[in-house]
Structure 1
């Protein structure tokens, strides 16, 4: 496999509403962060944190919808809740790290397409930080599916 792939334990994940779940068997995987404009627009975010695995190691519960974002890539998402799940090209799938089950290890070894990195990204650690106010959180009813 390409440089940057390491052995990973099996992991799982899925969308917000629970209609789609995936399981990936143990084996080589690569954690990276893509800063390209296509990933920025596909995720609605500054970058896409991705876990790349061979597609033949993925098992689905439910069927993702796909959209061809270019002549060589497809973006997978939940047709019910719209959660962006992956980028697929060739024989690999790159899962969005935010869809991974809690406590799944994610340790990026690459930053790709850094020419499109947003300028403010490096300043995030310089500003003040705060946790969620438990009183405010107590009044929120989540409609998201339980996580694994």
Structure 2
């Protein structure tokens, strides 16, 4: 049974409601996604276009002759990927209000995968709230740390 999930961009201008039936997502490592996001990969949730309702539609650009990407022109958040002739689309996992629900089930675009960025369990970890200068900046600016 599908669950209604919400999401949107960082500044809140673009919002959506999606009907999500499962927790499966995937990581895309293709060069197009790397360039579009500035990251080494991007996490996507594939859905039927009919299961996504935009409260405010994203800005869109043709990122290639065969695909369109949705984003917020105000804050730059990448939001979606779709082939115009497909019934499905991808929403970025990070744009969901509750992204922790999803789990990766496969990789795509593995010809461009950067293996050294996948298993980072041995790296030192730092919490945002353990950085006094950053905490001070947030507290002086808005009186709290961001969500």
**In the aligned structure 2, how far is the partner of 1:37 from the partner of 1:8?**
32
Partner residue of 1:50? 44
**In the aligned structure 1, how far is the partner of 2:115 from the partner of 2:23?**
29
TM superposition score normalised by structure 2: 0.82
Matched length: 138
Instruction: Tell me, yes or no, if structure 1 residue 95 matches structure 2 residue 76.
Output: no
Partner residue of 1:124? 120
Unpaired stretches in structure 1, ≥5 consecutive residues: 1-6
Give the Å deviation of 1:27.
3.3
Give the Å deviation of 1:102.
2.8
Give the Å deviation of 1:11.
1.1
The structure 1 residue matched to 2:55, chosen from 39, 58, 61, is 61
**In the aligned structure 1, how far is the partner of 2:38 from the partner of 2:2?**
28
Q: State whether residues 77 and 85 of structure 1, in contact with CA within 8 Å, keep that contact through their aligned partners in structure 2.
A: yes
Instruction: Tell me, yes or no, if structure 1 residue 77 matches structure 2 residue 71.
Output: yes
Q: State whether residues 11 and 104 of structure 1, in contact with CA within 8 Å, keep that contact through their aligned partners in structure 2.
A: no
Unpaired stretches in structure 2, ≥5 consecutive residues: none
Instruction: Tell me, yes or no, if structure 1 residue 112 matches structure 2 residue 82.
Output: no
**In the aligned structure 2, how far is the partner of 1:95 from the partner of 1:49?**
9
Superposition CA RMSD, Å: 2.2
Give the Å deviation of 1:94.
0.5
Q: Which contiguous aligned blocks of 4+ residues in structure 1 show a shift greater than 3 angstroms? A: 26-30
Partner residue of 1:16? 10
**In the aligned structure 1, how far is the partner of 2:102 from the partner of 2:80?**
15
Query: Between Structure 1 and Structure 2, which shows a larger proportion of helix residues?
Result: 2
Please give the secondary structure, in 1, of the residue aligned with 2:101. coil
